Amino acid sequence: MAKPLTLFEKIWSAHEIHREDDGTSLLYVDRHFIHDGSRTAYNQLAKRGLGVRRPDLTFATPDHYVPTTSRAFEDVEGEDRKDMVASLTRNTRASGVTEFGLNDIRHGIVHVIGPEQGLSLPGMLILCGDSHTSTHGAVGALAFGIGASEVAHVLATQALWQRKPKTMRVVVEGKLGDGVSGKDLVLALIAQIGVNGATGHVIEYAGPAIEALSIEGRLTVCNMSIEAGARAGMVAPDETTFAYLRGKPHAPSGAEWDTAVARWRALRTDPGATFDREVRLDAGSIEPMVTWGNRPSEAIPVAAAIPDPAASDPAQRKLLGAALEYMDLRPGQRMTEVGVDYVFIGSCTNGRIEDLRAAAQVARGRRVAAGVKAIVVPGSGLVRQQAEREGLDRIFVEAGFEWRHSGCSMCLAVNGDTVPPGKRSASTSNRNFVGRQGPDARTHLVSPATAAATAVVGRFADHRSLTRQGG
């Protein structure tokens, strides 16, 4: 009998073009996404006089530097940002790559539009010059982030040199409680294994709680794999995946769809296949989470109190103390006593339709607390359109949230949407790093429902207590 293989191993070996004696593999790339940070890579190509080998497998969107208050190129802030955006259009046009530009309804954050367009499919090897490329693994693909030189390499050759990573299975048993989301699950996981808990590994998420997640939920979980250091995160494709992908613009159709689904069904880890590491998590014990520090692992239930660094090991103590100081918090303080200035709902972690529905459900009929600036930034033009069809935009606007256009916005804060120094933000994004949302900004990571509840209460709040009383 053939050796049982993991899902990862199946995809990896199907993409190996060549292997060097030391085990380094040259892999074929099925899909390459690029964004408005691709100027460096294109400049590298130009210097060498090289073109794009497979423009038909490459797709582009300007997401990092674009304004979210309008769709006008003139509103891109400053000449340097304009050049980032304009160079993408110029380079993609010259090389024949499809760009979903600012005025295209299909515009959006690269990791939102890949799955949404059916460009990210099971079994594919997907790359993008962005660490959150791990997101696309949610549809059963192997997807990971690369640097600018590797982007240039993939553009020129459609291939990439890689050392085979190790494998790790995260089994999530049981069932998530009502109102507990994929975001809470992945924050709880990172709190358990640490920010380098999965370094050098590709994670396969499995177990009943993962199977029960929607594709949106799985995208959120895979998105944050990188925050545990993982090379990639993936979920075996199943009926939920097929139902999500069916009819998507770039997904196969007709007879090709049936052939594809038959092939995709084999993309499962064989019984008896082994992983280098295995981690278990009980979904039933997970609460809505919030981070208090400057690493995504510094996450606690919203209702909990901030832990005392003195109780942790000496190697961590100094860092935790520095995080408390940066965040202007003290041990023992309850998160529900901490007030916020900004609320950001969006990003490639939580800018999809299901996320906006969850936030709108909490915001409905309520008002953003005085002194809080709250913005909702859909992950794509199509997410925005769908939300407007469902009337979510009205719910947000009536509650006092700003309703924006798609883009990365306050997640990385390089388009001009920043949190001012010393201000505190509840954000549905993925990084609470020092200075991430602007110099000296204080970022707390939460789910969309928690963000909405926090916006209306003005302090971190368990959204379940709001929806339970208020209905």
Partner 1 sequence: MGKFETLVATAAPMEARDINTDLIVPGRFLRRLREEGLGECLFRDLRFHEDGTPKPDFVLNRPPYRDAQILVANDNFACGSSREYAVYALYDYGIRCVIAPSFGDIFHNNCFKSGLLPVVLPEADVADLRAQAGTAQGKPFRVDLPSQTVTGPDGVARRFEIDAFRKKLLLAGQDEIAFTLSHGEKIAAFEAARAI
Binding stretches for ligand SF4 (CB under 6 A): 63-64, 109, 111, 130, 132, 347-348, 408, 411-412, 429-430
Q: How far is CA 23 from CA 3, 52, 273, 465, in A?
A: 19, 27, 21, 54
Question: Of residues 94, 285, 334, 433, which one binds partner 1 by CB under 8 A?
Answer: 433
Which span (156-164, 169-177, 272-280, 333-341) binds partner 1, by CB under 8 A? 156-164
- In this structure, are residues 261 and 242 in contact, taking their beta carbons and an 8 Å threshold? yes
Please give the Cα distance from 96 to 275 (Å, whole number).
41
Q: How far is CA 296 from CA 10, 229, 414, 428, in A?
A: 31, 11, 20, 12
The identity of residue 271, as a single letter, is: P
The site partner of 335 among partner 1, ligand SF4, none (C-beta below 5 to 8 Å per kind) is none
Please give the Cα distance from 143 to 121 (Å, whole number).
10
Please give the Cα distance from 104 to 351 (Å, whole number).
18
Question: Of residues 55, 177, 208, 229, which one binds partner 1 by CB under 8 A?
Answer: 229
Q: How far is the CB of 404 from ligand SF4 (least distance, A)?
A: 13
- 161 is a contact residue toward partner 1 (CB under 8 A): yes
Helix (H) or strand (E) holding 187: helix 182-193
The site partner of 348 among partner 1, ligand SF4, none (C-beta below 5 to 8 Å per kind) is ligand SF4
Question: Of residues 32, 35, 153, 424, which one binds partner 1 by CB under 8 A?
Answer: 153
Q: How far is the CB of 195 from partner 1 (least distance, A)?
A: 6
Using CB under 8 A as the binding criterion, the count of chain residues that bind partner 1 stands at 63
The site partner of 373 among partner 1, ligand SF4, none (C-beta below 5 to 8 Å per kind) is none
The site partner of 366 among ligand SF4, partner 1, none (C-beta below 5 to 8 Å per kind) is none
Q: How far is the CB of 85 from partner 1 (least distance, A)?
A: 10
Say which residues have a Cβ less than 8 Å from residue 426's Cβ, sequence separation at least 6: 290, 340, 342, 343, 344, 444, 446, 450, 451, 454, 455, 460
Please give the Cα distance from 184 to 224 (Å, whole number).
11
Helix (H) or strand (E) holding 60: strand 58-61
Residue 391: left (phi > 0), alpha (psi -120 to 50), or beta?
A: left
- 200 is a contact residue toward partner 1 (CB under 8 A): yes
The site partner of 90 among ligand SF4, partner 1, none (C-beta below 5 to 8 Å per kind) is none
* Closer residue to partner 1 in complex, CB, 159/172: 159
Nearest to 366 by CA among 333, 338, 334, 401: 401
Q: How far is CA 143 from CA 109, 137, 250, in A?
A: 16, 5, 18
- 413 is a contact residue toward partner 1 (CB under 8 A): yes
Which span (13-21, 113-121, 276-284, 374-382) binds partner 1, by CB under 8 A? 13-21
| Interface pattern 316-355 for partner 1 (x via CB under 8 A) | --xx------------------------------------
- In this structure, are residues 456 and 467 in contact, taking their beta carbons and an 8 Å threshold? no
Question: Of residues 17, 243, 311, 397, which one binds partner 1 by CB under 8 A?
Answer: 17
Q: Rule CB under 8 A: which residues touch partner 1?
A: 17-18, 20-24, 26, 28, 30, 37, 39-40, 43, 48, 50, 57, 65, 80-81, 83-84, 129-131, 144-150, 152-153, 156-159, 161, 163, 165, 195-196, 199-200, 226-227, 229, 231, 295, 315, 318-319, 412-414, 421, 431, 433-436, 439
